[in-house]
Copies of this chain bind each other. A is one copy, B any other.
Amino acid sequence: MESAKSRIVTKASSAPPLTNPGELIDSVETFIFDCDGVIWKGDKLIDGVPETLDLLREKGKRLVFVTNNSTKSRKQYGKKFETLGLSVSEEEIFASSFAAAAYLKSIDFPKDKKVYVVGEDGILKELELAGIQYLGGPADGDKKIELKPGYMMEQDKDVGAVVVGFDRYFNYHKIQYATLCIRENPGCLFIATNRDAVTHLTDAQEWAGGGSMVGAILGSTKREPLVVGKPSTFMMDYLANEFKIQKSQICMVGDRLDTDILFGQNGGCKTLLVLSGVTTLSMLQDPKNSIQPDFYANKISDFLSIKATAV
């Protein structure tokens, strides 16, 4: 009675809790899961995840794991799932590192052009697999600029795209190199893996995210990036094409309103917010929040209640 009462106080436009997970499961064929805050937090698996994924697989659902984290490749991400005791194949994983490479392939990025990378190993690995030439990345992590009079940095004139992702070794050399490519190489693309304000490098606190690196390059080029990660629909469109999925048959499950839920809505999917990550119930129900999922749940293991009900 108490909880029913408090629910009445909530304004009518706020998303309802997921009271009938069985119905949601039956209504879609694919679940797309965000990883940080949904499957794990930093290096810790969230309660009940293995059983939940098993349940959905038993019910014949296709599972896809998307993440805006570009520091790892699909293969490297696969190892993270394995370490946590989850059996997930490389093909089920869509990291924004992969999305950047897939985007460049989708536009037939010329073979004789190169990509300058501000970011970590995952982007390099995915570009390599896609057969795209690159420079930068961790190799530029220790570079310093010399400020002798007359000194100038020269960028490779063959750089046709700058890909920017989270980079813990971000420095001024990279800012200047990326800026020169974007400002001075005709037609050079500015691609962002994501613009997330925060990321979960460790489970102990929130860390400044890829939005910082992208913001820096935007600040010196005054150019808006093309975003391939959430909430842009590139990954969703790619997934729908690749697996021939109807978007209305997809449920996007995530912990962030302005990336995950917006991503699902932008793509025309059903959406489920879980409160196991960065968003709290009061943030969801704040009158200033205009992004409302179809449902919310505490965590994905709330799906398991259908088993209890079935018994």
Which residues of chain B have C-beta atoms less than 8 A from A216's C-beta?
Answer: 170, 208, 212-213, 215-216, 219
Specify how many copies of this chain sit in the oligomer: 2
Contact of B220 with A218 in the complex, beta carbons under 8 Å: no
Contact segment of A85-93, A194-202, A290-298: A194-202
Cα A95 to Cα B215 in complex, Å, equals: 25
A179 within 8 A of B: yes
**Residue A150 contacts which of B147, B169, B204 (CB distance < 8 angstroms)?**
B204
**Chain B min CB distance to A95 (Å):** 18
Cα A149 to Cα B45 in complex, Å, equals: 13
A161 within 8 A of B: no
Contact of B170 with A170 in the complex, beta carbons under 8 Å: yes
Which residues of chain B have C-beta atoms less than 8 A from A43's C-beta?
Answer: 149
Give chain A interface residues in 215-252, CB to chain B under 8 Å: 215-222
Interface centre among A153, A209, A218 (most CB of B within 10 A): A218
Name the residue of chain B whose CB is nearest to the CB of A201. B147
Report A146-160 CB contacts with B as 1/0, cut-off 8 Å.
Answer: 011111110000000
Which residues of chain B have C-beta atoms less than 8 A from A176's C-beta?
Answer: 207-208
